[in-house]
Amino acid sequence: MSVYESIIKGLDQAVDYVNGKDDHVRVEHFTITETLPQSESFNIPVTDVALWLIHYNNHYENADFMTNLKLQKLLYYAQVLSLKYTGKTLFNEQLYAWDYGPVVNEVYQKYKDFGRQPIQTTEKAPDFSGDVKVILEDVYEEYGQFSAWKLVEMTHNDPAWYETKRNDNISINRMKALFGR
């Protein structure tokens, strides 16, 4: 367990203690960062979600190529639909409000060498099932049909992006308020 995880665990135990011991003291929300407890997230590594979307896209004959720009927007909508369908985040990595819409920096860095070109990968796609598979298939069916630039336009009309200062992280709590169950 990392030092960070130990601190969070200790804070969680303190909150449980306060909430359980004194009915007059109630800690409703305490945040150092927006790392969510495991029960509030599927905890899928975002790079696995990205890889799944890339491979799924490649199975469609007439699909646009998957560029890093398009992939970033599909990751955002995957997080949105996960919150909408289940109230849980799909992945724990932060989304940032960059100029062209939401971005997960870890994925951007992994595929940035492709520039505007289609992402090519020989990595094996992860095999998801249950809610995760339904969410990802729905993301692709709903949003995969759009070009990267159309997705940029769509995310620019989303309060979670336009209410966030450029380059700051997009608040999961704000996304939950907008899209959660």
Is the domain of 117 the same as that of 48?
Answer: yes
Band of residue 39 on the pLDDT scale cut at 50, 70, 90: confident
Is the domain of 126 the same as that of 84?
Answer: yes
Average pLDDT over residues 113-136: 96
> What pTM does this model have?
0.79
Is the domain of 16 the same as that of 103?
Answer: no
Is the domain of 158 the same as that of 77?
Answer: yes
Q: Which two tokens stand for residue 96?
A: 């940032």
Euclidean distance between CA atoms 21 and 16, whole angstroms: 8
Instruction: For residue range 49-81, list pLDDT tens digits in order.
Output: 999 999 999 887 777 899 999 999 999 999 999
Q: Which two tokens stand for residue 81?
A: 């639909």
Is the domain of 105 the same as that of 20?
Answer: no
Band of residue 162 on the pLDDT scale cut at 50, 70, 90: very high
Query: How many domains in the chain?
Result: 2
Enclosing domain of residue 6: 1-32
Band of residue 180 on the pLDDT scale cut at 50, 70, 90: confident
